[in-house]
Amino acid sequence: MEYLTVAVPKGNLFDESLKLLDYIGFPANQLKDENRKLIFTDTRAKMKVVVTRNFDVPVYVEHGAADFGIVGKDVIAEMKPNVMELLDLRYGRCTLCLAGKEKDDPKFLNNVRVATKYPNLASHFLSKEGIRARIIKLHGHIELAPLLGLSTYIVDLVATGRTLKENNLFIIKPLFSSSARLIANPFSWKLKRDVMLDFFEKARFYIEERSVMNVSGHHRR
Amino acid sequence: MNLKNELSLPAGFFDLEFEKAAAKRRLENNFADIFVNKGYREFSPSLIENYELSDFSLVPKNKIFKFIDKTGDILALRWDYTTSLARFLKMNSEKISFPLKVFYCGSVFRFFEGSMGRPREIIQFGAEIIGGDVDGEIELIEGIFEFLKGTGVKGFRISVSEAEYLKRLLSAEHLPAESLEKILHAIKCRDFIMLNELASTLFPEQREDLFDVLLSGKNSVDFRPEMENFLEKLKNSLFDIPVDFDPSLVLDFDYYTGPIIEIYDQNKTSIGKGGRYGFLSKMLGIDKNGFGIALNLNYILGL
């Protein structure tokens, strides 16, 4: 039987993704050790897990280098990869927001500068809102931009709002809500259909179980 | 840009240097030999079309390279061959006798954003038969595989679907057009999360069926007899190539009619796509069906 390769992103989705993999049968303990290893193999589960940056997950999956991937809806919407979007994993919930140093809506200003990691989503939603913006693409710590005067506003993901608060920034408008998704390569799906269906069914069951537990209040996070 | 020091090629384009160009020439000659032997003639349409022609195409408008000439007309770089052939048929319909069998070898251009490693020039070899029958279509597919087997690529597989299959599965005549469009969009994008939401409200009873068909590849509604006939002939003529059923191949109900196929390989790459199209009669008033397959030579040439 062939191995299944799963791409998992570093960062916010990592811990929850490991729990999911553990449930599916991949012993995820080996991923928790702090080392520089990037590929983890389990011969019993017949699985390989690769750890990448979140924006790289869809690239690996679209090109078939990974069969499955776990990645935020925000990244999928930004990159529009040619992949199967199978399951809402319901963790890593956050909102893409327009934020700034002041609470005022920039609707009637011209050419406001907006820093973001999501240039496509930002220009789509801002033009929908009637905001004429100049988008500045950054790769991280977006909230620095308004503090140093690089931009007046930012479009960035907000989960708890703590980072914004600590940097004296305010949410002006929520634009788009996101959560973790299970994606797959469509050709992998045909070539390894049985094992992939099995993985998918287990993941679906895990998510259903977990949300039942959350609703009944026994396991609230 | 300092042109003296920084000459470069835009992302997604390529030069074919020496060996690669020779390999392309050899493949072109093989392809032409195979199809000329089957009575096909070469069709080499203009590289530039009127942008309006893209109304008759499945290629999304935002993926077409367009530019404005001095008179203000919007022109476009050829985005596929089928649409150019359709335009040619419409312009010359009285002069042409059917069935018309043509092949082509050349480049099409599509705009892709970002850095996903997608090419913007795609070398396509393909063949089309207009006004033919099922045997003609099978002969065309045989020609395609005769060519592919000579390229050294191994482990081919074929996915098939029927254009109207999902319509029957969903009992689409009961659905409002707008909802059907949303469902098809979700299937085309392979977005099962959106599809699940739509199905739960629009047809909760058939939801499980739809997912079973799309994910398990199980066939829960029968194919039309003519599709069965096509499949049987296809399997008989390509007995060594695995054929699977992939209903998400449906691309557009107005464009395709009957069988749709995709050729791929173990490396998870789409090598070619095609099917029987009814848009000539539905949109252009040419009372013929066409059938065509276009191969992605970028992959075969390792570009």
* Closest to B79 in 3D by CA, of B98, B93, B58: B58
- The helix/strand count (H/E) of chain A reads as 9, 11
The superfamily (CATH) of domain A4-92+179-216 is Periplasmic binding protein-like II (3.40.190.10)
CA pair distance B30, B148, nearest whole angstrom? 10
Q: How, if at all, do strands B66-68 and B74-77 pair?
A: antiparallel
Cα-based distances in Å from A44 to A19, B40, B140, B167: 18, 54, 45, 42
Å between A45 CA and nearest CA of chain B:
22
Around A187, how many Cα atoms within 13 Å sit in the side-chain half-sphere? 21
Q: Is there a contact between B268 and A83 if contact means CB atoms under 8 Å apart? A: no
Domains A4-92+179-216 and A94-177 in one fold = yes
Cα–Cα distance, B50 to B238 (Å, whole number): 39
Maximum distance among all Cα pairs of chain A, rounded to whole angstroms: 60
- Min Cα–Cα distance to chain A from B191, Å: 5
- The DSSP secondary-structure symbol of B150 reads T
Low-confidence ranges of chain B (pLDDT < 50): none
* Residue spans per domain, chain A: 4-92+179-216, 94-177
Fold (CATH) for B19-155+283-300: BirA Bifunctional Protein; domain 2 (3.30.930)
Tell me what pLDDT residue B212 has: 80
Over its C-alpha atoms, chain A yields an Rg (Å, rounded) of 19
Chain CA centroid to CA B136, Å = 18
pLDDT of A215 strictly over 80: no
Closest CA to A114 of A102, A124, A122, A125: A122
Query: Count of CB atoms within 10 A of residue B127's CB?
Result: 27
The yes or no reply on domain A94-177 and CATH 3.40.190.10 is yes
Interface contact A53, partner B, CB < 8 A = no
Q: What is the pLDDT of residue A55?
A: 93
For residue B55, count CB atoms less than 10 angstroms from its CB and return exposed for 0-12, middle for 13-18, buried for 19 or more: exposed
* Residue B1, pLDDT score: 53
Q: What is the DSSP secondary structure assignment for residue B65, as one 8-state letter? A: -
Question: pLDDT per residue over B254-275, tens digit each?
Answer: 788 889 999 999 888 889 999 9
Instruction: Give the per-residue pLDDT at B177.
Output: 80
So where are chain B's domains?
19-155+283-300
A187 vs B244: CB contact, 8 Å cut-off? no
CB contacts of A84 in chain B (<8 Å) are: 190, 192
Instruction: Work out whether strand B243-245 and strand B157-162 pair parallel, antiparallel, or are unpaired.
Output: parallel
Confidence of residue A64 (pLDDT cuts 50, 70, 90): very high
Contacts of B192 in chain A (CB under 8 A): 84-87
Nearest to A185 among B157, B248, B268 (CB): B268
Rama region for A195: left / alpha / beta (φ>0; ψ in -120 to 50; rest): alpha
Q: Which residues contact A218 (CB under 8 A, 6 or more apart)?
A: none
Q: How far is B203 from chain A (nearest CA, A)?
A: 19
Tens-place pLDDT, residues A67-109: 999 999 999 999 989 999 999 999 999 999 999 988 777 666 7
Residue B244: both structure tokens together: 């699977």
Does A87 reach chain B within 8 Å, measured CB to CB? yes
pLDDT digits (tens, 9 = 90+) for A149-195: 999 899 999 998 888 999 889 999 899 999 999 999 999 999 999 99
Kindly state whether B246 is in contact with chain A, defined as any CB-CB distance less than 8 angstroms.
yes
Q: Do B117 and A59 touch (CB under 8 A)?
A: yes
pLDDT at A2: 82
Which pLDDT value is given to residue B72?
A: 94
Check residue A148 and give its pLDDT. 93
pLDDT in tens, A120-129: 999 999 888 8
Largest Cα–Cα separation, chain B? 66
Whether residue B99 is preceded by a cis peptide bond, meaning omega within 30 degrees of 0, is: yes
Cα–Cα distances in Å, from B283 out to B138, B167, B254, B288, B300? 25, 20, 8, 11, 34
Q: Cα angle at B124 between B139 and A77, to 5 degrees?
A: 115
Cα-Cα-Cα-Cα dihedral sign, residues B47, B48, B49, B55 = positive
B49 with B91: CB under 8 angstroms? Answer: no
Q: Does any CB of chain A come closer than 8 Å to the CB of residue B44?
A: no
ipTM over 0.95: no
Q: Does A69 touch chain B (CB under 8 A)?
A: no
Give this prediction's pTM.
Answer: 0.86
Confidence at residue A220, expressed as pLDDT on a 0 to 100 scale:
42
> How big is the CA angle at A166 (ends A162 and A171), to the nearest 5 degrees?
65
| Residues from chain A contacting residue B267 (CB–CB below 8 Å) | 64
Concatenated DSSP letters of A192-205: THHHHHHHHHHHHH
Q: Residue B101 belongs to what H/E stretch?
A: strand B100-109
